[in-house]
Amino acid sequence: MSATPPVVVIALAANELSSPRAAAILKSAHEVLGPNVTVRVEMLGANGGNGRNVVDEHPTSAYAWLAWDVRDPRVAHLRCYIPEDNRWVQRDVSFTDQDPENERGRTLGFVVGSIFVEAREPQSEPAVRVPQLPQNQWQLEPKRFLIAAAASIAAPGDATSLGAWIGAQRALSKIFWIGVAGEGRIGTVNQAQASTRFFSFGALATVRLIPQMGRGWWGLQSFLGAENLTFVHLSEDDAFAVTQSAWVPKLEILAHGNLDLSSSSMLFVDLGTNYRFGATNIYVHQSLKAHIPAFIGIGRIGVGTRF
């Protein structure tokens, strides 16, 4: 049976040390642990300058490390070292946007204190060691794969069309993703009594620009691939529909706005231009009936999931 540690050190980021939340954490943890335990806070990186040497794998006193999730700042990750048992305990605490900072601090302090109080209880199972987090990583490993779908619209003129877009990407870092995407849109050209179909497939890349942390951010999304344009015309003097089809290389550059709804779901909007490598003219009976320009405006709104 373990004893309550005489000293508990709570390691916080430098920008939290003077916050009301830090004061609430300290007070709440002290209330749970009791007057015989000294509770103090320490700045991450105080011993090593960059957080690498705050404590080693076997600290000499009880430690509680607090970090906020990079992708979802409503989730706090606690990693506590129990020196008497030489083991690590990890807890995740989730909050809502409506929770005040003081209440978040009280809750976190209560969880920290409870972990060390519960350490006095006999262990019914062998303790499972939590591996040490990689250097400079204070959050859980982010979800690396993303699947997204969106409704899309293109304009102007004869290029006006509506459809759907789907993409799959893999994160190479916290701010950069690559993958593949496909899109299908349909439209009409009334003056030619015709319909248009646009189908494209290619490589996709997304980069997060501002801000680097938080639920909402802006970035850029690019697409390079090929697009098939099909033009189907049926006039009164035609016995059958006349179909014309062509493949054209395509490049998209879009402003990408993202809002994380949770750690695994997100809402996004895209707005930019679709550059087709060459304009397309449609002739019916040697008469120009439609013109698809090289530059086309593109807008999308959709949802995605990470896993």
pLDDT tens digits, 203-232 = 999 999 998 777 899 999 999 999 999 988
Q: What is residue 177's predicted lDDT score, i.e. its pLDDT?
A: 96
Q: Would the pTM count as exceeding 0.85?
A: no
- What pLDDT band is residue 289 in, cutting at 50, 70 and 90? confident
> Token pair for residue 299?
């807008």
Comparing 86-90, 130-134, 167-171, 176-180, the range with the smallest average pLDDT is 130-134
Select the more confidently predicted residue: 235 or 125. Answer: 235
Average pLDDT, the chain: 83
- What pLDDT band is residue 155 in, cutting at 50, 70 and 90? very high
Q: What is residue 5's predicted lDDT score, i.e. its pLDDT?
A: 64
Q: What is residue 56's predicted lDDT score, i.e. its pLDDT?
A: 56
Q: What mean pLDDT is predicted for residues 54-78?
A: 79
pLDDT tens per residue across span 184-202 = 999 998 877 889 999 999 9
Q: What is residue 25's predicted lDDT score, i.e. its pLDDT?
A: 92
**In the predicted structure, residue 267 carries a pLDDT above the cut 50:** yes
pLDDT tens per residue across span 25-58 = 999 998 998 888 888 888 875 443 334 344 556 6
Comparing 9-23, 69-83, 110-124, 150-164, the range with the smallest average pLDDT is 110-124
Select the more confidently predicted residue: 201 or 244. Answer: 201
**In the predicted structure, residue 268 carries a pLDDT above the cut 60:** yes
